[in-house]
Amino acid sequence: MPGTLWKVVGLVSILLLVPLVGPAQQPPSTPPPAAPAPVPPGIIPPGLPAGYVGAETCKLCHDEQYRKFETTKMGRLFLKHPRNMVERLGCENCHGPGQKHFEAGGGKGIGGMITFAKNDPTPVAVRNDKCTSCHNRGPHMFWKGSPHEARDVACTSCHRLMEHTGHAQLAKGNEIETCGTCHLEKRAAQMRSSHMPLREGKMKCTSCHNPHGTVTPALLKEPSLNDTCFTCHAEKRGPFLWVHAPVNESCANCHDPHGSNHQAMLKMPKPRLCQQCHIESRHPTNPYGRNTGSLKFVLGRSCSSCHVNIHGSNHPSGFAFTR
């Protein structure tokens, strides 16, 4: 350890000396905004509908936003490689026709522009319609009527479009923090000891959910909850010779997929989990304790120590899921 520590100290010392020998680092200065000027001749692309002035006109005043938008995929498409008239509208495709805004000299709220800011008076539904005029297929097809749309959640609540923010243009850089802005409980659940690898960065909320709307409750991506789980846990899909009925109907009968403090993300510790439904006779019905006779039923994996194939068995003698 001491040798390693000295290596670290030495490297840090070298790095700290760098500014003494490297080019001086000057903080950038922000130039003052340019005063509005008349639209230079030829800057409005031909063929635009009446009332539209083109992205180059917007750039005259909103240069910084233009340059940031240029770095995004949508920006590159709209500003450099539009495929149709809708995309050729550029900035005005989303913000609305800009002629009145420009002729009035610009300013917030001038000319009826949609700003998509939090205090934008434009109704959320109207703002969202701008997005869904193009994003109406694939994962966005069932947006209308979805839980988020029904509660007037704006697209811009979760996404930032004007600059490159990484995966899916999320507002907060990653899905856990974006979804966790409102779903605090689910954000906290990823910290539970028995969990899927969300906090390790190996899964995301959208591994199972589509926040834009789906045909399945809880915004799950597949036709049913079980089908969603089977995407990765196909060994549980079967069909099996001997079926465990609650497994067949919903994995969430026993598991909490967001995490728990019990083995295998179970909602309740064993044996109690199983004893909710099994009151036949003999050993499933005893309360147990910590006496010797009880220990094999409660320690370790408890009921699953014998009933191993609890999700279903394809063994001819697997009726009790012990084979």
Exactly one of 2, 13, 27, 35 binds other proteins (CB under 8 A); that residue is: 27
User: Minimal distance in Å, beta carbon 138 to other proteins?
Assistant: 6
DSSP secondary structure letters along 13-67? HHHHHHHHHS---PPP-PPPPPPP-PPPTT-SPTTPPTT---HHHHHHH-HHHHH
Q: Does 93 bind other proteins (CB under 8 A)?
A: no
Exactly one of 13, 18, 37, 47 binds other proteins (CB under 8 A); that residue is: 18
Cβ neighbours of residue 142 under 8 Å, at least 6 residues apart?
Answer: 212, 213, 214, 215
Span 32-71, contacts to other proteins by CB under 8 A: none
The rounded distance, in Å, linking the Cα atoms of 321 and 303 is 11
Which two tokens mark 273?
């989990």
Q: Assess contact for 187 and 176: CB atoms under 8 A.
A: yes
Exactly one of 114, 170, 182, 310 binds other proteins (CB under 8 A); that residue is: 182
Q: Near other proteins by CB under 8 A, which window of 31-39, 58-66, 79-87, 96-104?
A: 79-87
Q: Does 171 bind other proteins (CB under 8 A)?
A: no
Span 209-248, contacts to other proteins by CB under 8 A: 215, 217, 223-224, 227, 230-232, 234-243, 245-246, 248
Give yes or no for a cis peptide into 46 (omega within 30° of 0): no
DSSP secondary structure letters along 177-201? HHHHTT-HHHHHHTTSSB--TTTTT
Report the residue number, 65 or 322, with the smaller CB distance to other proteins: 322
Which two tokens mark 252?
């969430």
Burial class (CB in 10 A: 0-12, 13-18, 19+), 106: middle
Give CA angle at 207 (203, 208), nearest 5°. Answer: 130
Exactly one of 22, 41, 42, 47 binds other proteins (CB under 8 A); that residue is: 22
Q: Near other proteins by CB under 8 A, which window of 37-45, 55-63, 93-101, 290-298?
A: 290-298
User: Minimal distance in Å, beta carbon 104 to other proteins?
Assistant: 24
Burial profile 190-203: b = 16 or more Cβ within 10 angstroms, e = fewer: beeeebbebeeeeb
Q: Near other proteins by CB under 8 A, which window of 34-42, 77-85, 88-96, 99-107?
A: 77-85
Exactly one of 33, 40, 107, 289 binds other proteins (CB under 8 A); that residue is: 289
Span 248-287, contacts to other proteins by CB under 8 A: 248-250, 253, 260-263, 268-269, 272, 275-283, 285-287
C-alpha pair distances (Å), 198 with each of 134, 170, 171, 177: 31, 17, 18, 11
User: Minimal distance in Å, beta carbon 27 to other proteins?
Assistant: 6
The rounded distance, in Å, linking the Cα atoms of 59 and 34 is 11
For other proteins, how many residues bind (rule: CB under 8 A)? 125
User: Minimal distance in Å, beta carbon 69 to other proteins?
Assistant: 13
User: Minimal distance in Å, beta carbon 9 to other proteins?
Assistant: 10
Report the residue number, 168 or 215, with the smaller CB distance to other proteins: 215
User: Minimal distance in Å, beta carbon 145 to other proteins?
Assistant: 4
Report the residue number, 5 or 35, with the smaller CB distance to other proteins: 5
User: Minimal distance in Å, beta carbon 36 to other proteins?
Assistant: 25
